[in-house]
C-alpha cells in the first residue's frame, strides 16, 4: 500500500531534530540533526562505521529515521540496505521526494493567496 506524502509531513521530516540530543551519532564520527546531514555523513562513512550501525540484529539508521525523524517510509527502505552508499542513495532519493512535496505545498499556498487577493 502506497502512502500519500503530505507537504506538512515532508517539511517536518526535513527539519532539524529537536532537542539536539536526538541527533544521530555516527560511530567515530559526527552527530547529524537532519536528513541532508545524514545523507552527507553516510557518503563519508567507512565500511566499519556502517557495520557498527547495521548488523543482522539491528539497523540504527532505520530506527533513528522512524523514531526521531518520523519517516516510516524511509525507515522501511533503510531496513534492507547492505552498504553506506546504498543507504545514502535511498536518503538522497527520499529528500528529493520530500522537497517536491514541500514545493507543491508552497505553490498551492501561493496560488490560494493570489486567488484571495484577486477577490478583494
**Is 76 a residue whose pLDDT tops 80?**
yes
Q: Name every residue whose Cβ is closer than 8 Å to that of residue 90 and which is 6 or more positions away in sequence.
A: 74, 77, 78, 81
Residue 34's pLDDT band (boundaries 50, 70, 90)? very high
Exposure string for 15-42, b = 16+ CB within 10 A, e = fewer: eebeeeeebbebeeeeebbbbebbbebb
d(CA 17, CA 36): 12
49 burial (CB, 10 Å; 0-12 / 13-18 / 19+) is: middle
**Residue among 104, 85, 107 at smallest CA distance from 96:** 104
Q: Specify the pLDDT at position 1.
A: 39
Pairing, β 31-32 against β 24-25? antiparallel
Q: Specify the pLDDT at position 16.
A: 97
**Is 3 a residue whose pLDDT tops 60?**
no
Residue 106's pLDDT band (boundaries 50, 70, 90)? confident
Averaged pLDDT of the chain: 90
Amino acid at each position: 500500500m502506497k502512502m500519500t506524502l503530505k507537504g506538512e509531513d515532508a517539511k517536518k521530516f526535513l527539519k532539524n531534530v529537536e532537542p539536539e540530543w536526538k541527533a544521530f551519532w555516527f560511530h567515530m564520527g559526527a552527530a547529524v540533526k537532519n536528513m541532508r546531514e545524514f545523507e552527507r555523513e553516510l557518503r563519508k562513512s567507512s565500511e566499519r562505521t556502517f557495520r557498527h550501525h547495521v548488523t543482522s540484529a539491528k539497523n540504527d539508521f532505520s530506527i533513528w529515521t522512524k523514531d526521531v525523524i518520523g519517516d516510516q517510509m524511509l525507515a522501511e527502505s533503510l531496513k534492507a540496505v547492505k552498504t553506506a552508499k546504498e543507504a545514502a542513495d535511498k536518503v538522497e532519493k527520499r529528500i528529493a521526494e520530500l522537497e517536491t512535496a514541500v514545493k507543491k505545498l508552497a505553490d498551492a499556498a501561493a496560488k490560494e493567496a493570489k486567488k484571495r487577493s484577486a477577490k478583494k
